[in-house]
């Protein structure tokens, strides 16, 4: 027997009167995909930003490599001085550059035996750099010399033997660093 006054039981809320039918399931979230225009816009913005930062990154890389080479040469000079003081002998730090062959290296020699101490450090792998005397007046570009040989012999007191120049300059295409060895004490200073 059917009663007229009892309400109809609905198992889902949207089946009740007045509720619209759902367009998606209640269990799955709605997903929205990116359009090709949105992806191309983001890609274009990334390319513009990369093009703007490329020259700055190139200058930064050259500057870091110049600082690295300068620090390696200065450390070799300091090591030669320390070995001269500790071993009570003369040690010479050599820096050799040749534009034609592309050789740019530094090494330390024991003066009495002529034996190398440690290893030869190849500085050409750090990029296009060279060593030379005082920079020409005016602004870069600098013209690399065909070859350059710089050496400092440290005595057992730490002082430097007689040399023609106390300063050496390391160049890249845009800037330079200066290494100075004080003759009386053998202290190594980096300028610029």
What is the radius of gyration, based on Cα positions, of the chain?
A: 36
Residue 43 has a pLDDT of 95
Name the pLDDT band for 146 (thresholds 50, 70, 90).
Answer: confident
Give the end-to-end CA distance of the chain in Å, rounded to a whole number. 104
Domain that holds residue 138: 36-191
Peptide bond into 141 cis (omega under 30): yes
When mean pLDDT is compared across 42-46, 75-79, 158-162, the lowest value belongs to: 158-162
- State the pLDDT at residue 141: 60
- The CATH number of the domain where 178 resides is what? 3.55.40.10
37, two tokens: 């225009």
Query: Which percentage of the chain shows pLDDT scores above 70?
Result: 78
The per-residue pLDDT for 168 is 85
Segment 15-32, tens digit of pLDDT: 555 555 555 555 556 667
What was the pLDDT predicted at 174? 80
Look at residue 47 in the predicted model and tell me its pLDDT.
Answer: 93
What sections of the chain are H helices per DSSP? 36-87
Query: Residue 18 falls within a domain, yes or no?
Result: no
On whether residue 2 sits in a domain, the answer given is no
pLDDT at 37: 92
pLDDT of residue 126: 87
CA 77-82-86 angle, to 5 degrees, is: 150
**For residues 124-139, average pLDDT:** 76
Task: Tell whether 122 is covered by a domain.
Answer: yes
Residue 173 is predicted with a pLDDT of 77
Local confidence band at 73 (pLDDT 50, 70, 90 cut-offs)? very high
- Its pTM stands at 0.70
Query: Has residue 30 been placed in a domain?
Result: no
pLDDT for the residue numbered 3: 57
Tell whether 25 is covered by a domain.
Answer: no
What confidence category does residue 183 fall into, taking pLDDT thresholds of 50, 70 and 90?
confident
Residue 43 lies in a domain: yes
Split into its structural domains, the chain has a count of 1
């Amino acid at each position: 027997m059917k009663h007229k006054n009892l309400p109809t039981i609905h198992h889902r809320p949207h089946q009740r009167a007045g509720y619209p039918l759902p367009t998606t399931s209640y269990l799955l979230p709605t997903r929205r995909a990116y359009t090709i225009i949105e992806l191309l816009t983001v890609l274009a913005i990334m390319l513009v930003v990369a093009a703007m930062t490329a020259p700055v990154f190139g200058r930064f890389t050259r500057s870091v490599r110049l600082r690295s080479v300068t620090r390696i040469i200065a450390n070799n000079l300091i090591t030669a001085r320390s070995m001269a003081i500790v071993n009570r002998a003369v040690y010479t730090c050599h820096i050799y550059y040749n534009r034609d062959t592309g050789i740019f290296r530094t090494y330390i020699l024991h003066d009495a035996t002529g034996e190398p101490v440690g290893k030869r450090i190849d500085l050409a792998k750090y990029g296009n750099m060279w060593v030379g005397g005082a920079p020409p007046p005016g602004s870069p570009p600098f013209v690399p010399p065909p070859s350059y040989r710089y050496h400092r012999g440290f005595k057992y007191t730490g002082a430097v033997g007689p040399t023609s120049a106390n300063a050496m300059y390391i160049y890249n295409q845009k800037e330079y660093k200066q290494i100075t060895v004080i003759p009386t004490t053998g202290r190594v200073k980096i300028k610029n």
